[in-house]
Structure 1
Amino acid sequence: MCDRTIARQVHLLLMFALSISSIHGQISYSIPEEMTKGSVVGNIAQDLGLDLKRFKSGKARIYTGDNTEYIEMNRERGVLLIKERIDREALCGQTTPCALHFQVILENPMEFYSATVEILDVNDNAPTFKKNQMKFKISESALPGARFVLEKAVDSDIGTNGLQSYTIHPTENFALKLQNEANGGKTVEIVLQKPLDRESKEHITLILTAIDGGDPRLSGTAEILITVLDANDNAPVFTQAIYKATITENAPKGTLIATLTATDADFGSYGKISYSLTNNADDIFEMFEINETDGELRLIGEVDYEKAQHLELHIQASDEGGLTDSAKVIIDVVDTNDNKPVINIMSKSPLLSEDSKPGTVITIINIQDQDSGENGKVHCLMDEDMPFTLKSTSNNFFSLVTDGNLDREKNPSYNISVTCYDEGVPSLSSSVSLTLQISDVNDNAPVFEKNVYEAFVLENNSPGLSVFSVKASDIDWNQNSRISYIMEESMVNGVPVSSFVSVNAESGVIHAVRSFDYEQIKDFSFHIKAQDGGSPPLTSSVSVKIIIQDQNDNAPQILYPVQSSNSLVAEMVPRSADVGYLVTKVVAIDVDSGQNAWLSYKLQKATDRALFEVGAQNGEIRTIRQVTDKDVVKQKLVVVVEDNGQPSRSATVNINVALADSFPEVLSEFSDFTHDSEYTDNLTFYLVVALAVVSFLFIVSIIAILSVKCYRWRRERMFYKSNANLPVIPYYPPLYADVGGTGTLRHVYNYEVCRTTDSRKSDQKYGRSCSQSIISLDNSGTLPHAQRENLISEDFDDKVSHDFMKLHLL
């Protein structure tokens, strides 16, 4: 029973008392609420000092003055009984004391007695929070002592049975603090005690418990979810601490009451401000809403001057860094004389599952109009083109029910406007807006962007390399759309695919577990499964193919001729070979592929480059001219084999070639073919020096021979002119010097020369000296002319023969 009803009863009681001549005293009773029907309140006859016969003869009855009678009288027993269950909270709300006033009336003669039954509170209501969860974003740079206002709990009980205290758990970082308000209430805050560290703990959950003072004590809990954010050093600041506004009662919904403005010196997300209503009574949330973006405070319910002349709202401005500021809005309600239908939301579901069947009740609306007759008959309607309908359940009660299938993916929320109007003239109406959020059901499986994925990876990659990523999407919401990527187990060449690649469960990035070798595996395939976080989870899979790309990481390999350090292999070319004679063929392979395996052959070094050539593509070594007798027997070729990679790789092979017509000749020439390459490289230099020396000696020998010829010719001329009377030429034995001052005589030597085709095997011996001089004299010191000429001629021939032999040797 409301305060105005009680006041009206008191007024009627006074009027009735003045009209009755016999008025007696007043009697009071106190009973607890929630007593069962038929319980005895008190013996009214005994308490009033009346006889039961008087009760019967006087037709005793009670008058409540209200349609609802909670108390009835048993005239036979003279006692008061509970007629209907009494709920103190429904009857009086927070008004104290809560009492029922009624009168006891007797006739013949008329007697009037007043009675009062005080309804005592019973702890039958636990404290409750409007929201089961309170979410905060707090910067890790917040200093100890920072305060954050919490939503208060509500307890319908009063006195000691009402809300008494709050507790919070755990208390590692925060402590609970209560602040007294001017209206007698308390502001609930949590105070930061210990600095937060996002890197160690990003999410903190606190349990806020509200406890009343009843016996036994009842309590209600709410979760405080705290997200620790990175540093944010500037909090939002309202331009005014207190905003004042005026509004007429029953103003239309959507009326702009005030625009709140806060500023934040930070940039980016830390400077983005959102506005919200906090720390307000339940009816405030039903009457007002604030746009979280622009701070516009609008009316969404009805304001009744008879209920409240002044309204006080607390607005909080929060940046995305977790820092806040608060402001107060004081609204003065201007009274108007009107009676339009009052829409009461009896019960509503802010969330409705998308798989709800048609006919599911969303909310129940009660319509009250203080007018009577036609003016009190109320009709309601709602927006069209929505899958909802209003059904009348009983007098002045409507149910908002679903009228079709819901799909959150198409319409995640609905703003439903219900308008009620009476039949008066002019008709008065009221409307209310309902925001209905459609909760998600896991009815959509993840979908990959592609049906098949292909990725190319260069071989010799480093383990852990990010190859590529797969991406799937799920049109469901929140946990139902949270996708995890799982690699399905399979085998690749008898080895688990997990030893080749791995997938990041969160991002879908595929990493190489090992270094790939194109020569061992060219490609492999596996499947990735995308699984959402629903219950039960839904999955889909996609095929992924990894293609290994070749790198030039292998040098060419010489298959023929085979290189060996223990034996000498030579290719024999007959001296009669024609131009283009196939000497041998270099055979090489490269285990790489593509252009990395394209091989080219090139003659890098040769004893005689003018004699041989190598086919650039086929590696065939052929003669490019006719072999001559002047060509040395031993020929050494160095062939390089090079691939076409970037950078290119190469291999070399040494090939020994013998220019000979018989095998024994090859053996004699190649007996020392394995000498050091340094000697072979210097051989050309030595030959050039030897050729120069031989040429010099040849010229000297010619000059010497001409000189001897001239000398002999001159001596003969002198001999003829003197009639053979030449001076005696003294005799000098071999190896003896001339002591007469003419110098040492030249000695005659015999030479043995052994010559081979290899100059390194040639041999030269100095023989014994001749026992006679060039010119032999008789005892008289003279010789016949003919004998002298023969001797000189033989000596000259021997000398020339010796010089030519020496030239040939060199």
Structure 2
Amino acid sequence: MAIPVKLLGGSRLVLLSFILGLLLEARAGKIRYSVPEETDEGFFVGNIAKDLGLQPQELDERRVRIVSRGRTQLFALNARSGGLVTVGRIDREELCAQSARCLVSFNILVEDKMKLFPVEVEIIDINDNTPQFQLEELEFKMNEITTPGTRIPLPFGQDLDVGMNSLQSYQLSSNPYFFLDVQQGANGSQHPEMVLQRPLDREEEAVHHLLLTASDGGNPVRSGTLRICIQVVDANDNPPVFTQEQYHVSVPENVPLGTRLLIVKAADPHEGVNGEVTYYFHNIDHKVAQIFQLDSYTGEISNKEPLDFEEYKMYPMEIQAQDGAGLMARAKVVVKVLDINDNAPELIITSVTTAVP
């Protein structure tokens, strides 16, 4: 950028062009380190003085400092040892969610020589999260005339760790009526399904209690469980039917809390208990469950937390309708968040001091 400067004692303007690429000479290769997450404050990451070709005491003498665009400073320089150390405990899941690699990039500025050295620190995942289900217990009803081979999708578990530390397998407790079949999604995700392998008999066994276990691949292995309670009921030949297969709604991100966003509706022709329909979320992300609320009797979906376009532009979810005899139907719902102008432009300035003749 050309900056006009007025000289003392005259009106002549001189254009000085300051081009960052000419003033700051960065090394061609990055300095790379790795550090496990959840380490204590002051954990030694690497000998930055040695990698810069300096002695520890030169860090202060040559005004060496970290230049970072992040709002939170994760690392600091130890002028006594010449090392790069952690400022506090680093939570990989909070920093990078479930990205395959978690990289933190910043620059080291050697101010007296006007040189920038790029640094990249990889945060290594540790097995500090247990697989969890959104529910502790799943209760539903099945008609005794349900045909063997019928598949019942089960809630999937979630593990915030990555790689082998993430959720790896499911197991269903041994029983003569159901077996577990895990379907692989296109993105490698696992979707557990329970398959009926022999006819149900309400007179023989009216209630089935099962346990679904989700395990990760860490050492030692961590696991979470979901209790499943199945009530066998008499015949009912008409399941609920949603008015739409998919529901779509668009709402501005500043919509007030508790706003009714849309209503899903499923009809059942039966009278009495068999015709009473209740609604539940099915297989939705923990974050979505925290933001939205579903009235199990009216099918009304409202927001109980603020929406943020910059965080999520779209919220997909699945609603399950179940009548009093246990027959079910499912419909998809997509809530699209509309952006409003609620963020001011952010200017990031890195300043250095040097003499210009």
TM-score by length of 1: 0.38
What's the offset of the Cα at 1:291?
Answer: 2.8
Residue 21 of structure 1, aligned match among 24, 36, 47: 24
326 and 60 in structure 1: CA distance in 2 versus 1, 3 angstrom threshold: same
What's the offset of the Cα at 1:196?
Answer: 1.7
What residue number does 2:215 align with? 211
Which 5+ residue runs of structure 2 have no aligned equivalent? Answer: 1-17, 346-357
Residue 150 of structure 2, aligned match among 136, 139, 146: 146
Tell me, in whole angstroms, the C-alpha distance in 1 between the residues paired with 2:89 and 2:301.
42
Q: Which residues in structure 2 correspond to 1:76-225 (within 5 Å)? A: 76-181=80-185, 185-225=189-229
181 and 247 in structure 1: CA distance in 2 versus 1, 3 angstrom threshold: farther
What residue number does 1:327 align with? 331
What's the offset of the Cα at 1:183?
Answer: 6.1
What's the offset of the Cα at 1:77?
Answer: 2.7
What residue number does 1:537 align with? none
23 and 91 in structure 1: CA distance in 2 versus 1, 3 angstrom threshold: same
Is 1:273 paired with 2:277? yes
Tell me, in whole angstroms, the C-alpha distance in 2 between the residues paired with 1:74 and 1:157.
31
Q: Deviations over 1:13-47 (max 9, x none)?
A: xx996474332242111221122333321112222
Tell me, in whole angstroms, the C-alpha distance in 2 between the residues paired with 1:38 and 1:290.
46
Contact 1:60 1:75 in 2 (8 A): no
Tell me, in whole angstroms, the C-alpha distance in 1 between the residues paired with 2:162 and 2:19.
33
What residue number does 1:296 align with? 300
Tell me, in whole angstroms, the C-alpha distance in 1 between the residues paired with 2:303 and 2:187.
24
Q: Using CA pairs under 8 Å that are at least 6 residues apart, name the structure with larger relative contact order, 1 or 2.
A: 2
- Matched letter for residue 129 of structure 1: F
What's the offset of the Cα at 1:256?
Answer: 3.1
Which 5+ residue runs of structure 1 have no aligned equivalent? Answer: 1-14, 340-369, 372-810
User: How many pairs align?
Assistant: 328
Tell me, in whole angstroms, the C-alpha distance in 2 between the residues paired with 1:308 and 1:302.
11
- Matched letter for residue 161 of structure 2: D
Tell me, in whole angstroms, the C-alpha distance in 1 between the residues paired with 2:264 and 2:81.
66
Is 1:287 paired with 2:287? no
- Matched letter for residue 307 of structure 2: V
Q: Which residues in structure 2 correspond to 1:175-574 (within 5 Å)? A: 175-181=179-185, 185-338=189-342
Larger Rg: 1
182 and 239 in structure 1: CA distance in 2 versus 1, 3 angstrom threshold: farther
User: Cα RMSD between the aligned structures?
Assistant: 2.6
Q: Deviations over 1:160-203 (max 9, x none)?
A: 21112211102321122333446654433222222222212222
Structure showing the higher helix proportion among its residues: 1
Contact 2:67 2:107 in 1 (8 A): yes
Is 1:40 paired with 2:40? no
What's the offset of the Cα at 1:52?
Answer: 4.2
16 and 128 in structure 1: CA distance in 2 versus 1, 3 angstrom threshold: farther
Contact 1:277 1:289 in 2 (8 A): no
What residue number does 2:15 align with? none
SS class of match (2:138): strand
Tell me, in whole angstroms, the C-alpha distance in 1 between the residues paired with 2:156 and 2:206.
26
Q: Which residues in structure 2 correspond to 1:602-681 (within 5 Å)? A: none
- Identical aligned residues as a percent: 39
Contact 2:57 2:82 in 1 (8 A): no
Q: Deviations over 1:458-478 (max 9, x none)?
A: xxxxxxxxxxxxxxxxxxxxx
- Matched letter for residue 202 of structure 1: A
What's the offset of the Cα at 1:317?
Answer: 0.9
